Structure 1
Amino acid sequence: MEKSKVYFTNMQTTAKENLLQKLNRLIKTAGINQIDFEKKYAAIKIHFGEPGNLAYLRPNYAKVVADVVKELGGNPFLTDCNTLYVGGRKNALDHLNSAYTNGFSPFSTGCHILIGDGLKGTDEVLVPVVGGEYVKEAKIGHAIMDADIFISLNHFKGHEATGFGGALKNIGMGCGSRAGKMEMHSSGKPHVYKDNCVGCSMCAKICAHTAISITDKKAFIDHNKCVGCGRCIGVCPMDAVMPASDESNDILNKKIAEYSWAVLNGRPNFHISLVIDVSPYCDCHAENDVPIVPDVGMFASFDPVALDIACADAVNRQPVMAGSLLEKNGCKHHDHFTDVSPETDWKVAIDYAVKMGLGHKEYELITI
């Protein structure tokens, strides 16, 4: 079997070529121009960063990708879906405000921003997952599924539940609607945090299964009727409806792979990962910590699995940064991500993604 090609360039520059020009050369050398972009919509999936976090990818990198898509005749847009947790990106208005705060706008990136699952995180498409063991129908943001071409632009970093966040995490979890994110994180159903509930009945009105009632100005969810769609989470103005977070990390990783399959199946896709500011935890945190390793470089591939493996291998070859959480925890497992988050096993997602046909673990690293 032929190895997947993963292209790499380091972060060194010259007077003739800066980092943005290197990224442009990298993705063209990796073959992005093999995709027919002419008059097609191209979703560029990126994480805009939770306000307060400073490790997210700068919008300058997104502009490089958007400009290449336009150069090839396509219509690019930046996208992400709303978060399940309470924060600065739980609905489209807050999400856009957060993106603008962090420097993403049509003026800085050269393309528009669309929040994939709409205003309240309920604008989704049910995508059948052929061969899925855990997910039969993935709930993917509507705007993302409407796109003709899918590009992931990933900040490669650690993650407390999945080991690291790379291409598969950015695609699978990132493209899930709020209900989709709940499905990945949970095998249970939402519940009401009564201290926050004001009895406004918004959740009861949107429930299609009459599972929610209001008693003494507090909502109650009948789990015998609830199907776990998560729409009540999206409409609650007080963040009183909370998801269960009871899924094991291994099953979470497998569900992310199944959601990634739903996003990528049947359309052209291309993947870019920047292994810089490798924070120990996700950019969903409203803070970031000392990077666990030095900056490595930029990677690109048509194979998201090989890309994630190549990035993980590159990180594990790096020395430990002084003052980081990795230094504090110590290198006991011969894997930087396991040393940072010992309860995780990132290889589960990789192996399951291979089983799903998303890519290969074997890769050829081509340095440019």
Structure 2
Amino acid sequence: MSSKVYFTNLRTRPGMNLLDKLERLVKKAGIENIDFKNKFVAIKIHFGEPGNLAYIRPNYAARLVKIIKSLGGKPFLTDANTLYTGRRSNALDHLESAYENGFNPHTLGCHVVIADGLKGTNYKEIPINLEYCKTAKIGTEIAESDVIISMAHFKGHEQAGFGGTLKNLGMGCASRGGKLELHSTSKPVIKTRNCVGCGICVNSCAYDAIHLNENRVAVIDYDKCVGCGQCVAVCQYNAAQVVWNEASEIMNKKIAEYTYAIVKDKPAFYINFIMNVSPDCDCWSHNDYPLVPDIGIAASFDPVALDMASVDLVKSAPVLPGSKIYSHEHQHEFVGEDKFKFVHPNADWEAGLIHGEKIGLGTRDYELIEV
């Protein structure tokens, strides 16, 4: 059976602005059918790396918070720390970045919580016993929430092909150790020139797999190392590093399995904002010119159907002149074609949706209902 995906365009009129259209959309899609009464509601969103301006405006999040509170819920906005070194790799910098981009209690009407703690080491392992992941390391505050709401900025992604609902949840809710599992088939390595011999990785390793050598440089004993990523999470000098070697196909399948873990046995609702469709992830401190014109907002109880519908909407849109894949000679060829495959030819986004369907996360067959 097909799943229902509700969609609204971005046309407005007096008495019906974009925030009103968002509210009408999510209510038509059935968000009021969720029992929010006295429930902790994790609204998963990407706060944007400072310097990047393509992220979802906090005004949309504030309206969603207002709706959930009116239904008796206890909402909070959340994201987990990044695996790479940047301004969102620990909770303090992450919160400052969120506030800088307008996500703060005064504008939102709720708190902002970093899901996996100060250094990205607070997580719960959720058993799933699927093809690639037997458990999923999910940020504690998300794992302990009662309801999951995804607000995803739909855009390109250099490894996943595109970033939508599955990427927002499966990768975004993983602790730093979980992100290591998604990104790499190898165990971490020590970049010796960056190591200052502080010993924090030695003290934090639960498997006694790291020691300082005679030069006070960290060394990993790979016979003991289990690849949990704790050393990567706690190192403040970028000495313990990820080997970024997971194939796009497998990474997208793992992301689907992590998404399955996050929404397992919980009410969940998903929204994609198909606007500012930049070629790359909001994790960069810049955003390139959008690939297509702003399209609209879509919502569903099915994350696979929602991402599939969003891809198809981007496929149907014309390429913007001046964008990364625009060609004066061949611009007509892009109408109806996969823009994400053009901009990231080595990324296999479809593998994640196929796998999501296989494990029962949702279906790629959908009915688009315009609101």
Matched, 1:255 2:258: no
Paired letter, 1:58: R
Residues 178-206 of structure 1: CA distance to partner in whole angstroms, max 9, x if unpaired? 00000000011111111211000000011
In the superposition, the TM-score normalised over structure 1's length comes to 0.98
Which of 323, 333, 338 in structure 2 is aligned with 1:335? 338
Aligned counterpart for 1:354 among listed residues 350, 354, 357: 357
For 2:172 and 2:159, the matched residues in 1 are separated by: 14
1:173 to 171, 174, 177: 171
Separation (CA, whole Å) in 2 of partners of 1:365 and 1:218: 57
Q: 1:226 corresponds to which residue?
A: 225
| 3-state secondary structure, aligned to 2:193 | coil
> What is the match of residue 235 of structure 1?
234
User: Is this contact kept in 1: 2:316–2:337, CA < 8 A?
Assistant: no
Q: Note the residue ranges of structure 1 that are not aligned, 5 or more in a row.
A: none
Structure 1 moving runs of 4+ over 2 Å? 328-334
Residue 88 (structure 1) aligns with: 87
C-alpha displacement at 1:283, in angstroms? 0.3
CA distance in 1, matches of 2:22, 2:225: 47
Letter in 2 for 1:274: F
Q: Which residue of 2 aligns with 1:344?
A: 347
Letter in 2 for 1:181: K
Matched ranges for 1:162-201 at <5 A: 162-201=160-199
- Which residue identity lines up with residue 351 of structure 1 in the other structure? I
Is residue 150 from structure 1 mapped to residue 148 from structure 2 by the alignment? Answer: yes
Amino acid at match of 1:187: T
Determine what percentage of the aligned residue pairs are the same residue: 54
Aligned equivalents of 2:199, 2:25: Cα separation in 1: 52
CA-atom RMSD in angstroms: 1.2
Deviation at 1:94, TM superposition (A): 0.6
Using the alignment, how far apart are the partners of 1:350 and 1:317 within structure 2?
19
Tell me which amino acid in the other structure corresponds to 1:361: R
- 1:127-146 pair list within 5 angstroms: 127-130=126-129, 132-146=130-144
Counterpart-to-counterpart distance in 2, 1:293 and 1:248:
27
TM-score scaled by structure 2? 0.97
Amino acid at match of 1:99: A
Distance 1:307 1:248 in 2: 24
Partner of 2:311: 312
Per-residue deviation, residues 105-155 of structure 1 (Å, max 9, x unmatched) = 01111110110100000000001113x111111100000011000000000
Distance 1:171 1:189 in 2: 24
